[in-house]
Amino acid sequence: MNWRKSKIGIFAMVLVVILVGSMMRTPITTIPLILGNLAQSLRVAQGSLGILTTLPLVMFMVFSNFASQILKRMGFKRSLLLALAILVLGSALRMVVTMPTMIGGTILIGVAIAYLNVFMPSFVGPIFRNGLGYTPRSTLFQ
């Protein structure tokens, strides 16, 4: 059965896009909200944690240039899965509240989101172009 012909399949794809979109934003937007508590837990000055808000942007700048090479080498589905796995790994690493794990996790999150920022338009385009009934030429979603 083609997922486009099923209401559950369409709902699932829309839900996947929303969830991946929130996974791409939440790890970056929540850090500034908890900097005070995080500084207390790490016993460092709050100003020294500014690196945690800067690192993702630096990772975007550096690693988004290589996303197309990863895409060519691994294929779309594997590249997307790898980026999501890196994002989950980075988020899990940041759960261990030490400065090295926070920095390492933030770097991994930045790399993953840099790749996802490049991959997601290719994922969303065929789904929503000309309505949900559009059939792409590639076999990406079949």
Answer whether residue 109 shows pLDDT above 90.
yes
User: How many degrees, rounded to 5, is the angle at CA 25 between CA 32 and CA 107?
Assistant: 70
CA-based nearest residue to 87, from 70, 112, 54? 112
Residues in Cβ contact with 10 at an 8 Å cutoff, skipping those fewer than 6 apart? 3, 4, 132
Q: Is pLDDT at 11 greater than 60 in this prediction?
A: yes
Grade residue 102 by pLDDT with cuts at 50, 70 and 90.
very high
Average confidence (pLDDT) over 21-48: 86
Burial of 96 (0-12, 13-18, 19+ CB in 10 A): exposed
Q: How far apart are the C-alpha atoms of 9 and 120, rounded to whole Å?
A: 18
Note the pTM of the prediction, 2 decimals. Answer: 0.79
Nearest to 83 by CA among 106, 117, 57: 117
Q: Distance (Å, rounded) from C-alpha 64 to C-alpha 140?
A: 22
Cα dist from 80 to 29, 41, 97, 115, 119, whole Å? 22, 34, 28, 8, 7
* CB atoms near residue 86 (< 10 Å): 20
Tokens of 74: 């691994």
